[in-house]
A and B are shown apart, each in its own frame.
Chain A
Amino acid sequence: MKWIIVVTSLCFVVGCKSEKTEDKSFVLSEFSEVQPMNIIEAENFSIPVYDFDGFEKLMNNNKDKTYVVNFWATWCKPCVNELPYFEQLYTEYKKEGVEVILVSLDFPKKVNEILIPFLEEKKLNSNVVLLDDPKQNHWIPKVDKDWSGAIPATVIINENKRSFYEKSFTFIELEDEVKDFIK
């Protein structure tokens, strides 16, 4: 239940982005009463950094949207391979109220060296946040009790339905799952 609130709230905040700003900045923090621990500023975007409790406290909700929350990292090959499908999903289903949130689990110490250049190169349209919380045994079960901790892992959620996937997706598989949520 908590998780639902987290994701929906996070997404509500994220959802405001498009109507509010023209630039590519990720403006999650502007709308949230919960400050990120840190905001990493790059040339064309910024990435809010949360620990899991912060991530969880983003209280709000937007019942109209379906959220696709993908846990990934630049060092995870299958994660990187499937990022284009999440991007494509976002592009094609944005109009239907689908938001994609890419939760990076990159090593915080390597953000400037690895994550920022990666994002500069890929020019992702989906929202990227960095989850910096080493107490994984505490928060992994809160995402899903069946999650072993391996990535990629994805949660799809809206007001009616919530599913967790510890697997890699093709675009078709991802689209099929999301269609179940927006019909």
Chain B
Amino acid sequence: MRTINTLIIVVVALFLSAFSPPDKFNDGYEVGDKATDFELKNVDGNTVSLSDYKDAKGFLVIFTCNSCPYARAYEDRIIALDKKYKEKGVPVIAINPNNPEVQPKDSFEEMKVRAANKGFTFPYLLDEGQEIFPVYGAQRTPHCFLLEKTDEGNIVKYIGAVDDNYQDADDVEVTYVEDAINAMLDNKEIEIKNTKAIGCSIKV
């Protein structure tokens, strides 16, 4: 009986392994996963890594860009988030995931212009070679990943939208990202860990 059980388990395991999708590991992060660090070029000419921030408690990594109207609708709110939470140890790190050859408005030069015009208070990095956004699993702009810095690395705590109203900051009812950061800093359970929103597809 025991051997039969073992045999069944082996057969099932073989079956499952044979049919598991090949892109299983390319689907990006889920809440609870450890997020990779990176070394990307900032609009100020320096490179930025998460490990540069010795005193940070976490990071709000936002994949965003110049060209997407949804991303632009959130720029002021992202600046406000950075100002509010940088001093609490959770700075915004913005990454442009788009291929500038496909969307010239998202070239490094244009990023510099946009960052200067809007007065970005946070790094605005180019995902050169587009290697980082697929690892995170960013699917659109804007797409937020809240990370908590722990002894085991940077752990993903929230994935999704900034808040629940892209059209008008005054009509926002749920501030997803703020709620998540506040809970994280208070060592409380984050209530809403994943949200969906319309956004621009990432240009590859």
Instruction: List residues of A (116-165) whose CB comes within 8 Å of B's CBs.
Output: 134-137, 140-141, 147-152
Instruction: Tell me, yes or no, whether B139 is within 8 Å of chain A by CB.
Output: yes
A140 pairs with B201, CB closer than 8 A: no
Does A31 interact with chain B (Cβ within 8 Å)? Answer: no
Question: B103: CB under 8 A from chain A?
Answer: yes
B138 to chain A: closest residue by CB: A148
Interface window among A37-45, A85-93, A101-109: A101-109
A80 within 8 Å of B (CB atoms): no
Q: What are 21 A-B interface contacts by the 8 Å CB criterion?
A: A75-B69, A77-B103, A78-B203, A134-B164, A134-B165, A134-B168, A136-B196, A137-B164, A137-B176, A140-B198, A147-B196, A148-B140, A148-B199, A149-B139, A149-B140, A149-B196, A149-B197, A150-B199, A151-B199, A152-B201, A168-B201
Q: Whole-angstrom distance between the alpha carbons of A147 and B197 in the complex?
A: 9
Cα A164 to Cα B196 with chains together (Å)? 16
**Interface status of B92 (Cβ within 8 A of chain A):** no
B167 near A76: Cβ-Cβ < 8 Å: no
Determine whether B121 belongs to the interface, using a CB cutoff of 8 Å to chain A: no
Q: Assess the A75–B196 pair: CB atoms within 8 A.
A: no
Give the A-B pair count, Cβ closer than 8 A: 65
| Chain A, interface SS category | loop
Q: Is the C-beta of B180 less than 8 angstroms from some C-beta in chain A?
A: no
A: interface residue count bin: 20 to 34
Say yes or no for B144: interface residue by CB 8 A criterion.
no
**Interface bin, chain B:** 20 to 34
Nearest CB of chain B from residue A145's CB, rounded to whole Å: 10
- Give the docked Cα–Cα distance between A76 and B200 (Å): 7
> In whole angstroms, how far apart are the Cα atoms of A168 and B102 in the complex?
14
Expressed in whole angstroms, the minimum distance between the Cβ of A180 and any Cβ of chain B is 21
- Which residue on chain A has the smallest CB distance to residue B28? A148
In the bound complex, residues from chain B placing their C-beta under 8 Å from that of A77 are: 103, 203
Q: Does B181 belong to the interface (CB within 8 Å)?
A: no
Within the complex, what minimum Cβ distance (angstroms) separates B63 from chain A?
A: 11
Q: Are A78 and B161 in contact (CB under 8 A)?
A: no
